[in-house]
């Protein structure tokens, strides 16, 4: 991220800055996917198998909210 800011401050050619920013965006998307998958494999499964009905409902709503936010990006 600091590279993109530095490039902007240096007045670098816009397509170069955009390419770097898109690269950073791709890295973040990959990290987010990994975190979400880990959550599904651990916390989500635990809640669905051991949680009360209220906890299961809360967990499902959390996943739905995360998926909705992911659609926006």
> Please, what is the end-to-end C-alpha distance for the chain in angstroms?
17
Q: CATH no. for residue 11?
A: 1.20.58.1000
| pTM as predicted | 0.77
* Residue 11 per-residue DSSP state: T
Judged against a pLDDT cut of 90, whether residue 72 lies above it is answered with no
So what's the pLDDT on residue 1?
Answer: 73
The yes-or-no verdict on residue 21 having pLDDT over 90 is: yes
Tokens coding 55 = 């906890």
Domain count, the chain: 1
Arithmetic mean of pLDDT over the chain:
94
Provide the residue range defining the domain that includes 60. 2-72
């Amino acid at each position: 991220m600091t590279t993109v800011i530095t490039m902007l401050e240096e007045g670098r050619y816009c397509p170069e800055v955009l390419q770097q920013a898109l690269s950073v965006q791709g890295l973040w998307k990959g990290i987010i996917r990994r975190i979400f998958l880990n959550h599904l494999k651990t916390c989500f499964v635990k809640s669905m198998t051991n949680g009360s009905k209220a906890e299961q409902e809360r967990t499902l709503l959390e996943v739905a909210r995360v998926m909705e936010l992911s659609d926006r990006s």
